[in-house]
């Protein structure tokens, strides 16, 4: 559902700490999106035993390369984040990227990138795939193809002590909201603000979710918004500093972003379907405790809005 300027990278292990102690963590830039940093990292998987039926769908261009460059904004745990070693990207998207590549007889090189730079990077040929909690939307389908693989909504979160009451988007009026740049949360919050009349919401955008979280914990913002599994993870790791409020809304599929008309989408879809059949897909989701977002019917360019 989410999410071009440099940002600081937080590891999953230090996320909760940084939410409580603000010194030295996150970014104060009012831009949002995943960004490449000095800690840019990649994870590569050696090709396992490829599924011949899947590998046969891989275009020659990608077979000859042997490696898929997968862009991911690693500030969105448990979907993607920097691991405890300070360089390896981990999370559902990284695990799934490696499993998909293995099905196709390829390697996956998962690299950190700013969120709003990923789709342009796919269009320019810099990346082969974008796996970064992208919502599959008709607007994005103008530039890239998608294969859906997960379902998530948007949740609100506030400070556990003294946070405002927020049940729906309408309750954002008159409040300061922190979001990641380029996300559906930014779009929703800004659209709602225009409906607020004289009590417009103030929408702060940041280059990554870490910056949005820190704006809330520092009191600069009153409300945070993120994808439902990400908000739940954040609250769980905040040590009681944050709480979820209101109802999650806008459930829609995540899509694996693929260069338009590259011919790779059918291979990705076939690989994903096989992972669903053999249980590896659900195993990956369970590893990150987000199996509630599992789907069983991946589609190519299935956006409804």
Name the percent of the chain lying above pLDDT 70: 84
Query: Would you give the distance in Å from CA 179 to the centre of its chain?
Result: 13
In sequence order, what are the residues at sequence separation of 6 or more whose Cβ sits closer than 8 angstroms to the Cβ of residue 2? 76, 115, 132, 133, 134, 135, 180, 182, 183, 184, 185, 209, 226, 227, 230
Residue 62 confidence (pLDDT) = 97
Count of structural domains within the chain = 2
Two tokens at 267? Answer: 């291979």
Q: What sign does the CA torsion over 224, 227, 233, 236 have?
A: positive
Confidence of residue 1 (pLDDT cuts 50, 70, 90): low
pLDDT at residue 44 in the model: 45
Each residue of 164-181: pLDDT tens digit? 999 999 999 999 999 999
pLDDT tens digit string along 248-266?
Answer: 999 989 999 999 999 999 9
For residue range 140-157, what is the model confidence (pLDDT) as tens digits?
A: 999 999 999 999 999 999
As a whole number of angstroms, the distance between CA 122 and CA 119 comes to: 5
Note whether residue 83 is domain-resident: yes
Predicted confidence band of residue 75 (pLDDT cuts 50, 70, 90): confident
- CATH number of the domain residue 257 falls in: 3.40.190.10
Percent pLDDT > 90 in the chain is 78
- What confidence score (pLDDT) does residue 166 get? 97
Band (2; pLDDT cuts 50, 70, 90): low
Do 130 and 159 lie in one domain? The reply is: no
Among candidate residues 215, 234, 250, the one where a domain is terminated: 250
pLDDT at 127 over 70: yes
Give me the pLDDT at residue 305, please: 85
Q: What is the pTM of this model?
A: 0.78
CA atoms lying within 13 Å on the CB side of residue 47:
16
Residue range of the domain that includes 46: 12-151+253-293
Inform me whether the pLDDT recorded for 27 exceeds 50: no
pLDDT tops 70 at residue 43: no
Is the domain of 211 the same as that of 104? no
What's the whole-number mean pLDDT along residues 11-27?
37
Assess whether 186 and 236 both reside in one domain: yes
Check whether 240 has a pLDDT greater than 50: yes
DSSP secondary structure string, 234-249? Answer: HHHHTTTSEEEEEEEE
The verdict on 287 and 179 lying in the same domain is no
Q: Is residue 301 part of a domain?
A: no
What does the pLDDT average to over 179-196? 95
The answer on 37 and 128 residing in a single domain is yes
Q: Are residues 125 and 274 in the same domain?
A: yes
Looking at the structure, tell me whether residues 79 and 112 fall in a common domain: yes
Lowest pLDDT segment from 17-21, 28-32, 125-129: 28-32
Q: What is the mean pLDDT of residues 51-79?
A: 96
Contact 181, 33 (CB under 8 A): yes
3 pLDDT band, cuts 50/70/90, is very low
Residue 46 in this model has a pLDDT that exceeds 90 = no
Give the pLDDT of residue 48: 53
Q: Is the pLDDT of residue 21 over 60?
A: no
Question: In terms of Cα–Cα distance, which of 93, 183, 88, 208 is closest to 147?
Answer: 93
Higher pLDDT, 128 or 135: 128
Is the domain of 128 the same as that of 173?
no
């Amino acid at each position: 559902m989410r999410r071009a300027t440099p940002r600081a990278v937080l590891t999953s292990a230090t996320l909760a700490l940084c939410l409580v102690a603000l010194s030295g963590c996150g970014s104060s830039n009012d831009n949002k999106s995943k960004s490449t940093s000095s800690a840019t990292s990649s994870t590569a998987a050696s090709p396992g035993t490829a599924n011949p039926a899947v590998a046969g769908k891989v275009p020659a261009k990608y077979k000859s390369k042997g490696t898929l460059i997968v862009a991911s904004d690693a500030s969105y745990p448990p979907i993607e984040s920097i691991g405890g070693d300070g360089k390896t990207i981990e999370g559902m998207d990284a695990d799934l990227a490696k499993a998909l590549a293995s099905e196709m007889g390829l390697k996956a090189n998962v690299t950190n990138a700013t969120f709003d730079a990923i789709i342009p990077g796919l269009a320019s040929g810099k990346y082969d795939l974008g796996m970064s909690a992208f919502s599959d939307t008709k607007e994005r389908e103008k530039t890239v193809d998608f294969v859906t693989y997960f379902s998530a909504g948007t949740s609100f979160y506030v400070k556990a002590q003294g946070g405002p009451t927020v049940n729906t988007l309408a309750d954002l009026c008159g409040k300061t909201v922190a979001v990641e740049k380029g996300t559906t949360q930014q779009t929703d919050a800004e659209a709602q603000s225009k409906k607020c009349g004289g009590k417009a919401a103030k929408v702060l955008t940041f280059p990554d979710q870490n910056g949005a979280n820190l704006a809330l914990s520092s009191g600069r913002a009153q409300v945070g918004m993120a994808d439902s599994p990400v908000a739940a993870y954040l609250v769980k790791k905040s040590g009681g500093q944050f709480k979820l409020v209101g109802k999650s809304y806008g459930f829609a599929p995540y899509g694996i972003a693929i260069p338009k008309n590259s011919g790779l989408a059918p291979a990705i879809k076939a690989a994903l379907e096989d992972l669903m059949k053999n249980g590896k897909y659900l195993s990956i989701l369970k590893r990150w405790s987000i199996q509630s977002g599992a789907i069983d019917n991946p589609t190519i360019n299935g956006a409804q809005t």
